[in-house]
Structure 1
Amino acid sequence: MASVIRENVWYSEEHEWVLDLGDGTVKIGISDIAQHRLGDIVFVELPDLGQEVEAEDGIGTIESVKTVADLFTPVGGTVLEINGKLESAPELVNEEPYDGGWMVRIRLKEDPNAAFAKLLDAKGYAEFIEK
């Protein structure tokens, strides 16, 4: 099955996506490609609410039946919300990586244009994964 690359999100080279919510906050998760590579996800560890993070900081781990992978934040800011559903249903990351499987919501510490400047759009991400 072909992996889905959404047009309305930004991507990091570590395979996280960032959705601009338009109010100075973003949702972050892992791409469809990343969840396919990890396999069946059995546990997700997320950061504490209120935690201050810098772009590229490790903010948790994703455990699958095959491996444990670090979760990084592509943008800096303050953790406002974590997806509590993942505690009892980590498989949402496999089933709905861009919807029910989102991981954290962060209030950006900088202007969105500056925050997204180092990230890839859908076309750029598709080209990156082809390499």
Structure 2
Amino acid sequence: MNFPEELKYTQDHEWIRIEADGTAVVGITDFAQHELGDIVYLDITSVGQTIAKGEVFGTVEAVKTVSDLFMPIDGEVLELNPEVESSPQLVNDDPYGRGWLVRVKPADGVDEEGLLTVDAYKDLVGQ
């Protein structure tokens, strides 16, 4: 299983990467996509909305289940990854690359409280 060092993680199995321009990219972890199985649909209708940390910003549907997606920081959802909208299996194939979900404008800086380091996330998932 893949756990990139440069990312921060949530207890709900999302990852976040802060870009050089100050925006943040959010996706689900390799562990999460593995547990969900084949992802067949993403329902993310929160583009343009400001979502509080911990609130649901969409859902991911796999063959056997539907799971909520939780925002790791306070921020405005700027865009949905157009590639995963048309090819949701990219989340399974490349969760940290082409399978990212949304780009977010953090609200007044990034509050990293509650976000996990790679080591803390590995401990959470027993790796």
Instruction: Name the TM-score class by shorter chain.
Output: over 0.9
Offset of residue 118 of structure 1: 1.2
Contact 1:16–1:30 (8 Å) recurs in 2: yes
Offset of residue 18 of structure 1: 0.2
Structure 1 residue 84 corresponds to structure 2 residue 82: yes
Contact 1:47–1:79 (8 Å) recurs in 2: no
Contact 2:54–2:70 (8 Å) recurs in 1: yes
Structure 1 equivalent of residue 104 of structure 2:
106
CA distance in 1, matches of 2:20, 2:112: 13
Structure 2 equivalent of residue 48 of structure 1:
46
Runs of at least 4 residues of structure 1 off by over 4 A? none
Q: Work out the percentage of aligned pairs sharing the same amino acid.
A: 41
CA distance in 1, matches of 2:108, 2:9: 17
Contact 2:46–2:58 (8 Å) recurs in 1: no
RMSD (Å) for aligned C-alpha atoms: 1.2
CA distance in 1, matches of 2:52, 2:76: 9
Secondary structure of 1:8's partner? coil
Using the size of structure 1 for normalisation, the TM-score is 0.92
- Structure 1 portions without partners, runs of 5+: none
Structure 2 equivalent of residue 10 of structure 1:
8
CA distance in 1, matches of 2:105, 2:54: 15
Number of residue pairs the alignment of both structures matches: 127
Secondary structure of 1:44's partner? strand
Offset of residue 116 of structure 1: 1.3
Offset of residue 110 of structure 1: 2.8
CA distance in 1, matches of 2:22, 2:82: 21
Using the size of structure 2 for normalisation, the TM-score is 0.95
| Amino acid in the other structure paired with 2:107 | K
Secondary structure of 1:116's partner? coil
CA distance in 2, matches of 1:118, 1:47: 25
- Please point out which of 110, 113, 116 is paired with 1:117: 113
| Amino acid in the other structure paired with 2:116 | L
- Structure 2 portions without partners, runs of 5+: none
Structure 1 equivalent of residue 36 of structure 2:
38
Greater Cα shift, 62-71 or 80-89: 80-89
Structure 2 equivalent of residue 96 of structure 1:
94
CA distance in 2, matches of 1:108, 1:23: 11
CA distance in 2, matches of 1:87, 1:130: 31
